[in-house]
Structure 1
């Protein structure tokens, strides 16, 4: 493919519009920031906040779309890793913006990661099972891969939410404990990635009779080295475009955090809503991709997207937030409430029961959605 044709395929009109919208919104806010310095009327506050959130969501969709193109070229599990790492990066950016913004946000990381866990494991998986199970009677995922994800989640989420209440101080790790948890968590996550990308790669691919995959039709996918050599220019171009779409999210996140703090305070909303909003912003684009994969009968890809994203969140976001807390002296309260710990434990047990089944059905999805509804009730209780 010639360079001009490649640029046209990468810089599509939609991609250009997303770039212009993201960078244009940042420049506009920079120009009018003095006018936003004082207390805003409530209607104007929500209008500006809604506009910023809309631009961030549109930019996040652009990031996920470019990551999907990279995923298509690289194949699983490399492709879904690009997607999940992109999502984790956006989440860290937004959480850090709220943490370092005005007001006290010691629980923002806890609330956000908890919300992501409930959204991924119950809402998105529930919808995916409803859609996929209705269309594919023999829907199932690679049990080994899902069990590996679940094992990682049990350990990492326990370290994030349960252990601080038992060995920490006032629900937060002490500085030496935080350093140890950062090292252990990152070390385990890196080892997981090495195994996932190498010797255990097949454990995270579609099983032969579960969907229209390459292995099912006897086609051996090309090696990663061959893909990089053949499509190097396209991969570089799409990676640069992905970064160009992430940057407006970084630049707009500070303004979003400031306005969000004021808006929720005026509305008297639960503190956890800020974490839920971040979780919804971060995972909405990938949720749509997950449901599409399930609709095509690619349940292992849906698992890679959902469970892989949550493993990346627990394995990268928590260490990143702990590091930010150590460097800035900000408290990072991670210990969860008994209600949320109960719901999290129930969710992990339900996930084990669901994906241990010989086939996945819409009824499995309905039970996951029921648990998500319980989480919604608990937030406002």
Structure 2
């Protein structure tokens, strides 16, 4: 019975990404009626769940923290491609698209995914334990990259408005790619043990206890299907965005809300994977997903838009406004105080979620 159930699950996770991709091809850049939007949303949800399944298969095969890195980078690469495509089509209207998307990703991952994971694990196991060395290094890198890429443009004077000059943009792009590369090297080579799950006694857990590891062929198949699922997630999210835009406009909400909603949809695979790890008391895996996604978003998006700005005719606005600067500072301070003790209670998780709620509230009523 269990074997048949697993076989059915496997078939489902193979079929849904492929069908979702076919639906994406059939609906790409078309005006969809209401029933078609509902159908697209169903396949979007199915592709998200399939992506989580295949990411966990890969993570089980390669182990942590490699599995978290695969999902974070895969989602971000597709997201960056979408951003550059939209900037190429949007002209002046897309001037703030990269900034808004990156900042939304930082707030959702560093407060939403991180806070929810800590809250789930702390409620279930009294406290959430993690490795402060790796988590602190990731948070410090996020703070540095966010400041260099999103804060400094607000205060520079070489170009009018919250924009970098070409030389400043080139420096920010180079710093982003170098620091992200060093983070990946630290994560996977020199200090891998800093990013492994730990027990309540502080012992590092280097191996999964979820049964036999998948074969290399199964992992390779899951990697291929993960890519198909993530392309489908991002593409279908873009497909339903006109409906989201219409709903936002009808409700009288700011246009920036559309970017927040799409960012929430795109980050769903990481969110579900992080929460499932938290339920298993593997909080470090959850934090690897959250902070790794934030780092990938900054470290890959800024260099990509810097290169794209060479041929894009519209302006590129990266500097954050005053309210977002305050929220970024608060996120880094709260994150530091959460990481230092190496363990967290439900209170810390709720504090991070409160910061996310403040960000969402300001997105609706700036």
- Give the TM-score of the pair, scaled to structure 2: 0.85
Aligned-pair CA distance for 1:322? 2.6
CA contact (8 A) 2:138 2:183 kept: no
In structure 1, what is the equivalent of residue 276 of structure 2?
Answer: 292
In structure 1, what is the equivalent of residue 166 of structure 2?
Answer: 175
Q: Secondary structure at the match of 1:171?
A: coil
CA contact (8 A) 1:90 1:249 kept: no
* Structure 1 residues 20 and 200: CA distance shift in structure 2, 3 A: closer
- Which digits, 9 at most, give the CA deviation of each residue in 1:301-351, with x for residues without a partner? 111111111111111122223322333233221111110110110011001
- Which digits, 9 at most, give the CA deviation of each residue in 1:46-75, with x for residues without a partner? 655554455344324333321221111000
Q: Does 1:73 align with 2:61?
A: yes
Aligned length: 356
In structure 1, what is the equivalent of residue 266 of structure 2?
Answer: 282
User: After alignment, is 278-287 or 84-93 more displaced?
Assistant: 84-93
Q: Does 1:187 align with 2:185?
A: no
Aligned-pair CA distance for 1:293? 1.5
Whole-angstrom distance in 2 between the partners of 1:304 and 1:118: 15
In structure 1, what is the equivalent of residue 128 of structure 2?
Answer: 139
Whole-angstrom distance in 1 between the partners of 2:322 and 2:333: 16
* Structure 1 residues 255 and 137: CA distance shift in structure 2, 3 A: closer
Q: Does 1:129 align with 2:95?
A: no
In structure 2, what is the equivalent of residue 222 of structure 1?
Answer: none
Aligned-pair CA distance for 1:236? 2.5
CA contact (8 A) 1:84 1:308 kept: yes
In structure 1, what is the equivalent of residue 147 of structure 2?
Answer: 158
- Which digits, 9 at most, give the CA deviation of each residue in 1:81-104, with x for residues without a partner? 111112212322332343233461
Q: Secondary structure at the match of 1:198?
A: helix
In structure 2, what is the equivalent of residue 111 of structure 1?
Answer: 100
User: After alignment, is 207-216 or 106-115 more displaced?
Assistant: 207-216
Whole-angstrom distance in 2 between the partners of 1:210 and 1:61: 33
Q: Does 1:233 align with 2:217?
A: yes
Q: Does 1:94 align with 2:91?
A: no
In structure 2, what is the equivalent of residue 224 of structure 1?
Answer: none
User: After alignment, is 319-328 or 298-307 more displaced?
Assistant: 319-328
CA contact (8 A) 2:51 2:229 kept: yes
RMSD of Structure 2 on Structure 1 (CA): 3.1
Q: Does 1:360 align with 2:338?
A: no
Whole-angstrom distance in 2 between the partners of 1:150 and 1:348: 7
In structure 1, what is the equivalent of residue 328 of structure 2?
Answer: 344
Whole-angstrom distance in 2 between the partners of 1:172 and 1:50: 39
User: After alignment, is 85-94 or 75-84 more displaced?
Assistant: 85-94
Aligned-pair CA distance for 1:272? 1.4
In structure 2, what is the equivalent of residue 304 of structure 1?
Answer: 288
Whole-angstrom distance in 2 between the partners of 1:295 and 1:259: 34
In structure 2, what is the equivalent of residue 196 of structure 1?
Answer: 187
- Which digits, 9 at most, give the CA deviation of each residue in 1:107-127, with x for residues without a partner? 122112222222222222222
5+ residue gaps, structure 2, are none
1:8-27 to structure 2, matched below 5 A, reads 12-27=10-25
Corresponding residue to 1:329 among 304, 313, 328:
313
Aligned-pair CA distance for 1:255? 4.3
- Give the TM-score of the pair, scaled to structure 1: 0.82
Q: Secondary structure at the match of 2:89?
A: coil
CA contact (8 A) 1:88 1:312 kept: yes
- Which digits, 9 at most, give the CA deviation of each residue in 1:270-325, with x for residues without a partner? 12112201210111121122122222221111111111111111111222233223
